[in-house]
Amino acid sequence: MIELLVAISLATIITLLGVSLMRTGINSSVVNEEALVQSQAVRDARRLLEYAWSARQTNGFSGDQGQLEFISSQKALGTLPLRFACRPGEGGDYALWLYSASPTGRQGQPEEPPGEMLLGQLGECRFGFLQAPADAKQPAQWKEDWPAGQGPPALIRLDLASLRGALPPLILAADGP
């Protein structure tokens, strides 16, 4: 009788331990899966921005901390003004959106075109623009705004952070992809 009770107790402990380990393992697997999916999304968004930027036109460039607009001649994207925009989400996070045109609304007011969300659940999403100094001995300055009509800046950077922490910036050069 006692042996049976001991055996049942041992069996229960081992089973509970096994279930606990399995749950930890499955949770870890789910977290890994989510991390991989987000890594892939970040990689795709960066590649899309590089791809569009590699065929940009010299006119039609403007940007600020929350968005970057330029005209790309990539056939796959159409020769339209492209706008990569950081938008706040509902849960205090950010998302990176791509808008492919700036149509005019019925009353002549600018209307938000339909966009595609490239990345969601970002802790940070911000653009920066490097202004080349007139004197090469002066340090170049990163600026938060780049008004239209100035031509493209020397460098563009996109700072992103996932909910796990900051990611390396994507830096694009004016004279190369």
Q: Which of residues 45-84 bind other proteins (CB under 8 A)?
A: 46
Binding mask 9-48 for other proteins (x = CB under 8 A): -xx--xx-xx--xx-xxx-xx--x--xx--x---x--x--
168 binds other proteins (CB under 8 A): yes
Total residues in contact with other proteins, by rule CB under 8 A = 50
DSSP 1-20: -HHHHHHHHHHHHHHHHHHH
* List 81, 83, 85, 128, residue binding other proteins (CB under 8 A): 128
CA distance 22 to 26: 6
CA 54 to chain centre: 18
171 binds other proteins (CB under 8 A): yes
Nearer to other proteins, 21 or 101 (CB): 21
Contacts for 128 with CB less than 8 Å, ≥ 6 apart: 65, 142, 143, 144, 156, 157, 158, 159
CA distance 35 to 31: 6
Nearer to other proteins, 38 or 72 (CB): 38
Q: Which stretch binds other proteins (CB under 8 A): 59-67, 79-87, 99-107, 160-168?
A: 160-168
Q: Which stretch binds other proteins (CB under 8 A): 80-88, 91-99, 109-117, 131-139?
A: 131-139
How, if at all, do strands 155-162 and 170-173 pair? antiparallel
151 binds other proteins (CB under 8 A): no
- Residue corresponding to tokens 């950077």: 157
- Alpha-carbon distances, residue 127 vs 72, 124, 171 (angstroms): 18, 10, 10
Binding site for other proteins (CB under 8 A): 3-4, 7, 10-11, 14-15, 17-18, 21-22, 24-26, 28-29, 32, 35-36, 39, 43, 46, 128, 130, 133, 136-142, 154-155, 157, 159, 162, 164-176
